[in-house]
Structure 1
Amino acid sequence: MSPPDRLDLVESRLEIAELPSRYAMALDARDLDALVALFVEDVDAGAQGNGRDALKRWYDKVLRKFYRSIHLICGQTVDITDATHATGSIYCRAEHEDGDGWYVITMRYDDVYERRDGRWYFVRRREYPWYSVDVTERPGPDFVRWPPDIELRAAMPHRLQSWRSFWDRGDPAVPGRLSRQP
């Protein structure tokens, strides 16, 4: 790899690494303009349609379901496919205030990135929860306790093939060590 190509790779990794932090800070500040600016202009916002305005409407609706939040991120991996495409994953622990509850959720985001006009953006973010509970509780049999108007299902770590393969070779040696699975 030539020095200019190596430099571009390093710069790309650094720029992509900032996207989840910028996302978390914009989300927690309820800065919807900064939040949607992290996504490609023609982002698919599901039922809201396409584009940043549609995504902004979606986030406005979702973020009004709870009052305050804080998203702490760590453990990012990035796989750069070519000069304009990459994928990655990142862990997140988020806390959300809802009435008298303060809910903690642990999750993994799986991201798709694209470089357009020299800048990297999110194309898509998918979150996969481990668990959520009120901060005063421990995760229980269902692994998900959330305000009733928010749909959430535990997906991690069971969606990972390596996790399933590991446990297919035998359950824990000490019975009763694990809580019931969701």
Structure 2
Amino acid sequence: MTTSLEQRIDRLESLDEIRQLVAKYSLSLDMRDLDAHVNLFAEDIRVSREHSGRSHLKAWVDDTLRHQFTGTSHHTGNHIIEFKDPDNAIGVLYSKNEHECGGEWVIMQMLYWDDYQRIDGRWYFRRRLPCYWYATDLNKPPIGDMKMRWPGREPYYGAFHELFPSWKEFWQNSPAELPEVAPPAPVDEFLTRMRRGSPAPKIRVR
């Protein structure tokens, strides 16, 4: 399928704006500018089964930050973005985070599964699904199971690998001597192919 120069420029500008969106998410969250933060989300963002909208999101973020963390720092890394159409996209973003939690310094490795939407010419988060690998005190490597280890809480799983069936398949299957290789995924179907229609995991709130 051929695309016009205008379409190609629009795609490049959209990619850049989405990458700026995730960078703005980290900065506004760490600096506690909650208005700047919630305005990165669609105006009718769903916050819970009962509530939608930026005001409810701001109240939820305020409560979480005020009662769990003295300070935070979010460091974003690998970012894959795929477009469903010119105004809707999905993405996977790695994030390495640090949290001051009272007398402990908790480090975390996670990824976000994102849905992005362009509304009135601007890109917003439609949804962010956080999937955690570990959270632990800086001086306590999270070896073993139940790697989510917040102060004062029982350890639990963080759903880091549940978006992608390949993790379980890798450990369940023995390696073939000369394995078959599936054909490459189309450019905008890499994440979709990796997901293989698997359902979104249920994430335990911190």
1:128 paired with 2:131, answer yes
CA distance in 1, matches of 2:162, 2:51: 31
Q: What displacement does 1:152 show?
A: 5.9
Residue correspondences, number? 171
1:96 paired with 2:99, answer yes
1:166 paired with 2:191, answer no
Q: What displacement does 1:153 show?
A: 3.2
Q: What displacement does 1:149 show?
A: 5.9
Aligned residue for 2:15, secondary structure, equals helix
Give the TM-score normalised by structure 2. 0.78
Q: Which residue of 2 aligns with 1:117?
A: 120
**Aligned letter for 2:114?**
D
Q: Which residue of 2 aligns with 1:177?
A: none
Q: What displacement does 1:18 show?
A: 1.1
RMSD over aligned CA atoms reads 1.8
CA distance in 1, matches of 2:87, 2:13: 13
Give the TM-score normalised by structure 1. 0.88
Q: What displacement does 1:157 show?
A: 2.3
Aligned residue for 1:46, secondary structure, equals coil
Q: What displacement does 1:159 show?
A: 4.2
Query: Residues 149 and 155 of structure 2 are in contact (CA less than 8 Å); yes or no, is this contact kept in structure 1?
Result: no
Q: What displacement does 1:47 show?
A: 5.2
**Aligned letter for 2:131?**
Y
Q: What displacement does 1:143 show?
A: 1.1
CA distance in 1, matches of 2:155, 2:142: 17
Query: Residues 110 and 133 of structure 2 are in contact (CA less than 8 Å); yes or no, is this contact kept in structure 1?
Result: yes
Aligned residue for 1:40, secondary structure, equals coil
Deviations 1:63-109 (A, max 9, x none): 11111000000100001111111100100010100111000010010
User: Which 5+ residue runs of structure 1 have no aligned equivalent?
Assistant: 172-182
Query: Residues 107 and 130 of structure 1 are in contact (CA less than 8 Å); yes or no, is this contact kept in structure 2?
Result: yes
CA distance in 2, matches of 1:57, 1:18: 24
Judging changes above 3 Å, is the alpha-carbon distance between structure 1 residues 150 and 83 closer, same or farther for their aligned structure 2 residues? farther
User: Which 5+ residue runs of structure 2 have no aligned equivalent?
Assistant: 176-206
